[in-house]
Structure 1
Amino acid sequence: MNGPEALAALPPARRAELIYATARSELSNRLWRAALGDSDSANSASNPAGRPGLPLGSLVEMMGGGGSAQPGTAATGATAAGHPHHCCCCRHHHGDAAPGATPAAAARAVPSAPTITVPGTVFPQGGPADAVGEARGGLLALGSNAQFAPALARAAEATGVPAGAIAAIVDAEAARRADGSWNPLSRNPRSSAAGLGQFLSGTWQDMARTPGTWLNETAASHGWLDAQGRIRPQARSALLQLRYDPEASIRTVADFARLNLDRLESDGLRVRADPEALAKAAYLSHHLGLGDARRFLRGGLVPDRARTLLVAQIGGAAAEQRIARTGNATEAHREWLLAYIDRRIQPDRFAG
């Protein structure tokens, strides 16, 4: 039975629900692309589905105000506490020149890692037979990742970032086991990125020093911070090892997303206008870091920076081919990253 026949065979209520969900996702994606100023031709080149973009005037639907970023602005933003928000994972994923590959394709699992118990956290191996977990008043369809539903629900409740958006970020970053489940022991062999959120060591320590985050509260409760809120040298190893705890990683993904979204909105970028736009903006900041995400949203990265990031993501030869085809490194990197985000960051996939 083909697609149209299968759709026609559904009960009217279910058929209407699927049509509405598809239309909503399509509109969300078009608003996201329009908000970035993508033209129809750019969309057709970078979007495998060939979905047309909206005119640049639709920017008002999702974002407001803000002039163009200047090339000389700082590379990293800062939290309300003044700590820099470095990129979590960018410049550290390689080997995905093939279409459909993910930035985390090179991630591998650490054979073993010491267990640090976070009070109240239990993750049974294999997960329950029921593949649907409750999160933030709704249901998450997590399949083999149902064991992470409680942590996603807690993270969503604490930060206001939808559980589906958090799940989409983790899904784009973490390595997978043979059954498709996210591997908490994910580790990128080419960088310090580790855990379900692929946090670099520096970013993880920044989050531990940032008041109001789950990681800051946990570090304080373990005595890992001194009176000035700095990480005690002898506690650094234990703190970094905590990246392999699923609860810690998921909660920090959510906190990092909340902080980045707050700062983007304070810049006049309406990144919470729509659930899919929120998820994509959160991932963009997670992937690039706040400073580069701001520049990306406001017109694009400078060519040298764009080339460096593209080479790190897909390799030198593939990057040069894309740059030659598009005519410049800024557009080549933008095209690649937008296509990846369109393909992978779809929070509706996790809706129950």
Structure 2
Amino acid sequence: MGMNSFYATKPFTEDNFLLNPVNNKYRAYIIGTAKKHGFAPHALAAFINAEAAKKKGGEWDEKSYNQGSKAGGLTQFLPNTWLEMCANQSSLVGQYVSKNPKLSLDAKLNLRFNAELAIDAAAAYAVYNFKISKLPYQNLTEPSSMAKLAYLLHHEGAGGGRQFVQNSFSQERAKALLFSQIQDKKNQLII
């Protein structure tokens, strides 16, 4: 392997972190955000991959929008949760909104479609949820475990995530969530 070959592969292995080449444009955001919020880049990328709508070839769609839930952007934030992040000064979006206080509600919600802000908000929200869930997240050593907990807490919030982990999630709640994920608008199963 010559020196040119080495440098040609370096961007795909920086920080011992492989990323699908179609999503390499997000690499710097993921690595920077992971370092800032105490994540392994692998965990953050796995979380994003679970949340993001995909284009052809597995490319993440930073402009995706779910008409049913109103979730939008690369990390599929619901409007109310995104607005919480707009007030959270540990997130880039919170800092941006603080410097631009005259932004309209729609302008704030449209910031979900900015990949850098969405990636950072997802990590900041995960750290926030880790702390308020009172779960022993500090004991997680595997990036996959951290990604799974972040994903669970992103969907269920700190309280629901804690109930799920502690096996106190009600069967009614679990059934409602399951059916909301696998039914279409006519309440027909889609699996």
Report the TM range for the smaller structure's normalisation. 0.7 to 0.9
Higher relative contact order (CA 8 A, sep 6+): 1
Structure 1 residue 130: Cα displacement: 8.0
- Aligned counterparts of 2:71 and 2:9: Cα–Cα separation in 1: 31
Matched to 1:259, the amino acid is Y
**Match for 2:127 among 258, 265, 281?**
258
- Aligned counterparts of 2:99 and 2:108: Cα–Cα separation in 1: 12
**Match for 1:150 among 20, 25, 28?**
28
Unaligned runs of 5+ in 2: 1-7
1:64-143 equivalence runs, <5 A: 132=12, 134=14, 137-143=15-21
SS of aligned partner of 1:239 = helix
> Are residues 212 and 176 of structure 1, via their aligned partners in 2, closer, same or farther at CA, if it must alter by over 3 Å?
same
- Aligned counterparts of 1:138 and 1:221: Cα–Cα separation in 2: 35
State the match for 1:243 in structure 2.
112
1:156-167 equivalence runs, <5 A: 156-167=34-45
- Aligned counterparts of 1:301 and 1:318: Cα–Cα separation in 2: 23
**Does the aligned pair in 1 maintain the 2:44–2:147 contact within 8 Å?**
yes
- More strand by percentage: 1
State the match for 2:178 in structure 1.
310
Quick check: which has more Rg, 1 or 2? 1
- Aligned counterparts of 1:271 and 1:317: Cα–Cα separation in 2: 41
**Does the aligned pair in 2 maintain the 1:184–1:195 contact within 8 Å?**
yes
1:218-229 equivalence runs, <5 A: 218-224=96-102
Matched to 1:274, the amino acid is E
Partner deviation per Cα, 1:294-338 (whole Å, 9 max, x = no partner): 10001142122112111101125549x9xxxxxxxxxxxxxxxxx
The CA RMSD over aligned residues, in Å, is 2.5
**Does the aligned pair in 1 maintain the 2:17–2:41 contact within 8 Å?**
no
Matched to 1:245, the amino acid is N
Which 4+ stretches in 1 moved above 6 angstroms?
Answer: 128-131
The TM-score, its normalising length taken from structure 2, stands at: 0.84
SS of aligned partner of 1:141 = coil
State the match for 2:4 in structure 1.
none
Structure 1 residue 257: Cα displacement: 1.4
Aligned residues: 181
**Does the aligned pair in 1 maintain the 2:52–2:62 contact within 8 Å?**
yes
State the match for 2:48 in structure 1.
170
**Match for 1:205 among 74, 83, 107?**
83
State the match for 1:184 in structure 2.
62
State the match for 1:341 in structure 2.
none
Partner deviation per Cα, 1:229-257 (whole Å, 9 max, x = no partner): xxxxx521111101111111111111111
- Aligned counterparts of 2:10 and 2:120: Cα–Cα separation in 1: 23
Matched to 1:247, the amino acid is E
Structure 1 residue 164: Cα displacement: 1.1
Structure 1 residue 221: Cα displacement: 1.5
**Does the aligned pair in 2 maintain the 1:133–1:142 contact within 8 Å?**
no
User: Identity rate of aligned residues, in percent?
Assistant: 29
Matched to 1:295, the amino acid is Q
Structure 1 residue 267: Cα displacement: 4.0
- Aligned counterparts of 2:73 and 2:98: Cα–Cα separation in 1: 21
**Does the aligned pair in 1 maintain the 2:97–2:108 contact within 8 Å?**
yes
- Aligned counterparts of 2:150 and 2:162: Cα–Cα separation in 1: 12
**Match for 2:163 among 273, 295, 300?**
295
State the match for 1:277 in structure 2.
145
